[in-house]
Structure 1
Amino acid sequence: MGTLLKTTLSKKLNISPGRIWHMAVMPCFDKKLEASREELTDSVWAGDDGKPGKGIRDVDCVITSKEILMLAESRGIDFFSLSSEPISQPDFPDPTIHNFLFPTTKRRRQEQTPDAGTSGGNLHYILHDIQSRNPGSQIQTIRGRNADVVDYIVVNPSGETVFKAARYYGFRNIQNLVRKLKPARPSRMPGGKPFGSARKPTGGKSSGLEYAYVEVMACPGGCTNGGGQIKVDDQVVLDRRGLGDTKPGPQEQKAWLAEVDEAYFSADEQEAAASEDKDADLVAGISPSYIRDTLAHWSEITSIPLDKLAHTSYREVVSDVGKKVSDTERVIQLAGKIGGGW
């Protein structure tokens, strides 16, 4: 979103990206670290004049829902007394991008169900996209030992598994996933398996096919239970429920998370201003052709290749534990650059 806003606004308003300030509200404190990565600065997409970008962040500030509440309280604002009606807003300078960001046509609701999970629904969309590419196929769900572990397979009409994926939420479940996929240590006992042999993933009850995609989230319950979210034991929640200093138990925490999930799934979701004749290509409530057209338009109006706008890469952030002093200094210098490192 930050890339979309800064590239489009700087072009349309003929101003430097550095004069645009973008704040994002997120459920997770780690988003603050993510926003500081060099890959999410104008060093990636700027420089059409031959000069490199200045390291201006796509997202200048990240605050969590809990921090919004704290900020309101510090200024004497009763957050819960504020009107829920949308405020008036100026038109975005590009009509196509405006309609994408602020759809006004109430069309069929985007398919946002509990099956999509509480972390954006990427896995849910991928499964339905694979299913749409294999006519007659079915998505089968295999529950794990708890609600945060789920395997999914797409099976064609002949019973063959064409795609396998999984959802693992919570550190403990992630650790189990890593153990399951980690190669076995070579046996040193006489008659043991030869050096370098690896065990197959042990979660393949449904098929021998390896995972093609795994949706991993550190927080149990997914993003609606993120570290930056308002919790059931926060004083403002206790006061509003008349609980005083009573410490909520596991059942109260579970009930609170269910309320948050319900609010997440019941929010008004609209398909972004796609025309009715594009309903035929809807996948999980999203029109791929509409998204492609919007991306192409974005690239055209900014004169920036789409791979620089919409694609990114991952750079490992190297730990300084056990490193030589020179290596440590190099990492510190990298992290100290504008927009660099974590």
Structure 2
Amino acid sequence: MASVFSGPLALTDLDDFIAPSQECIKPVPAPRLPPGKKTGIIKIDDDGSYSALNDLGESYKLEKVSITLDDCLACSGCITSAESVLITQQSQHEVFKVLAENQAHTDERKYMVASISPQVRASLAVKYGTSIEEVAAKLTSYFHSIGFDLVLDTTVSRELSLLQSCKDFMERKERFDKGDKSALPMLTGICPGWVCYAEKSHGEHIIPHISKVKSSQQMMGSIVKDFLAKRRNLPPSQIYHVAVMPCYDKKLEASRPDFRSEFDTRDVDCVITAGEVIEMIERRGQHLMEYESCDLDRLFEDLPTEIYSHSGGGSGGYLEHVFVHAAQALYGVDSPPLNYTVKRNKDLQELTLNIEGEKKLKFALAYGFRNIQNIVPKVKQKRCPYDFVEVMACPSGCLNGGGQLSAAADENSKELLSKVTDLYNSVASRDPKESRYVERLNLEWLEGNSTHPQLLTQYHVLEKIDNPLTIKW
């Protein structure tokens, strides 16, 4: 089966990326048997289950070992074989299970929230030959029809992430100019495929360079489980938050222990992809365009939700926003020229600010593992020429995520991506600094605290486990 995860999470030629059967180290409790009863022959039953015979000839079922994403992320063994691990908490089936429990136990009902990424809307809009605005309205209608209470747009949380990234860069640049040469380059940390790879393969050499600013998915998780929970007077554990994302790696991100609240609940309970949403709709024998268009839900009752985007590309525009902000704040250049230089391929591009012939800023975007491989050694050897790098595990970035809708049999995948990109870019862009939603969140939630713990995360050095099965003879 082809991996649905990004390249860095699907590598098979590195020693620390091997099959779970070789190196899964999860401790499995083995209950002590009563005296005189010892396990003997183990056999496979007709239904595929396993049974054992004790020394008295009695047969009993053996329990399956359930390995969750939390188990995987806690070790350095087999996360890159995640598609073959039993994923129990990140699927559409889990969503339907919670919805069914809501109907069966109304007194313990979960408040259901869905947050949808702009990339997913673009993918669905191309599939159905309609506008992004129309898809947003129909997705809202669909999620309400199956029992969701609130459907949100992650554009708002991305604005927080972009603005916080600008602040992070400015702080790092100040430290760098004062002599702390480890402060730059700053590498984005919004792509979970890239982060997992960096933690497991490069540890302390790379982690200090990765921005601790949360991605839009996890920023929305904080908004839902902290800000929204307080406004609705609900405990975070009573809210079930589903994120609809373009990438399977996002399932891993949501499962990180760092994104559990003090109430021991995930900020994002479940992640589903564009393809899974279509499966959910079609399993009811329906079609997305059959649903009525309805008004978009509001995060603030007095602020209507509008569909808009941010400049700088389909992965959020982090490079461009940080570059423009730094040019203005550091050198007084209000509208710096955005002339990208394509290097070895279109997924490795540079953007430079020159003033009177002197280079002041040099940024880059590096998408896909072949370009990550080019950047990482330079960072480790302290000879990286860039001040900032926007890193994405997927070639072409988030619009080409593994969870996006695939090309039909008679369709070219590059042409499909081009259509999705064009439609995504057709939405009007706005400056996050002018966002009324961010203004309200700062006033009513963050209270102007730019280092608020809900905005930041952390990363971990995961030591490679020595295992004789990894030796290449």
Q: Secondary structure at the match of 1:131?
A: helix
Alpha-carbon displacement from aligned partner over 1:147-195 (angstroms, at most 9, x marks no partner)? 1110111122x22211111011111121122344443xxxxxxxxxxxx
**In the alignment, which of 223, 238, 263 is matched to residue 54 of structure 1?**
263
Distance 1:35 1:153 in 2: 34
**What's the counterpart of residue 316 of structure 2?**
120
Distance 1:305 1:163 in 2: 24
1:122–1:66 Cα change, 3 Å: same
**What's the counterpart of residue 149 of structure 1?**
348
**In the alignment, which of 403, 406, 420 is matched to residue 231 of structure 1?**
406
Q: CA RMSD in A?
A: 3.0
Distance 2:358 2:436 in 1: 32
Cα offset, 1:314, TM superposition: 1.9
Query: Is residue 12 from structure 1 mapped to residue 208 from structure 2 by the alignment?
Result: no
Alpha-carbon displacement from aligned partner over 1:219-249 (angstroms, at most 9, x marks no partner)? 11111110111111xxxx34xxxx4xxxx5x
Distance 1:56 1:24 in 2: 15
Matches within 5 A, 1:154-303: 154-156=353-355, 158-183=356-381, 200-201=383-384, 210-232=385-407, 237-238=408-409, 243=410, 252-267=412-427, 269=429, 271=430, 285-287=431-433, 293-299=439-445
**In the alignment, which of 322, 325, 332 is matched to residue 466 of structure 2?**
322
For 1:311, the aligned partner's letter is: L
Would you say how many aligned residue pairs link Structure 1 and Structure 2? 246
**What's the counterpart of residue 307 of structure 1?**
452
Cα offset, 1:138, TM superposition: 4.1
**In the alignment, which of 219, 231, 241 is matched to residue 22 of structure 1?**
241
The gaps in structure 1 that reach 5 residues or longer are 43-52, 184-197, 202-209, 272-284, 325-342
Distance 2:377 2:345 in 1: 17
Alpha-carbon displacement from aligned partner over 1:284-339 (angstroms, at most 9, x marks no partner)? x23268676434323368x99961222222234x2563179xxxxxxxxxxxxxxx
2:350–2:362 contact (8 Å) kept in structure 1? yes
Distance 2:317 2:297 in 1: 30
For 2:452, the aligned partner's letter is: D
For 1:258, the aligned partner's letter is: S
Distance 2:349 2:284 in 1: 43
Distance 1:25 1:9 in 2: 18
Distance 2:221 2:376 in 1: 32
TM-score between the two structures when normalised by the length of structure 1: 0.63
Q: Secondary structure at the match of 1:22?
A: strand
Distance 2:275 2:309 in 1: 27
Alpha-carbon displacement from aligned partner over 1:70-129 (angstroms, at most 9, x marks no partner)? 22222211234445x3x245654x54xx63xx445x9xx7553xxx12201111111111
1:131–1:154 contact (8 Å) kept in structure 2? yes
1:26–1:140 Cα change, 3 Å: same
1:140–1:155 contact (8 Å) kept in structure 2? no
1:34–1:214 Cα change, 3 Å: same
For 1:40, the aligned partner's letter is: F
Cα offset, 1:9, TM superposition: 2.5
For 1:35, the aligned partner's letter is: A
Identity of aligned residues (%): 33
Moved over 6 A (4+): none
Q: Secondary structure at the match of 1:162?
A: strand
1:60–1:224 Cα change, 3 Å: same
1:2–1:319 Cα change, 3 Å: same
When structure 1 is superposed on structure 2, of 164-173 and 73-82 the one drifting more is 73-82
Alpha-carbon displacement from aligned partner over 1:36-66 (angstroms, at most 9, x marks no partner)? 1122221xxxxxxxxxx23211111100001
For 2:249, the aligned partner's letter is: D
Cα offset, 1:211, TM superposition: 1.3
For 2:260, the aligned partner's letter is: T
Query: Is residue 2 from structure 1 mapped to residue 148 from structure 2 by the alignment?
Result: no
For 1:167, the aligned partner's letter is: L
Q: Secondary structure at the match of 1:287?
A: helix
Cα offset, 1:146, TM superposition: 1.1
**What's the counterpart of residue 130 of structure 1?**
326
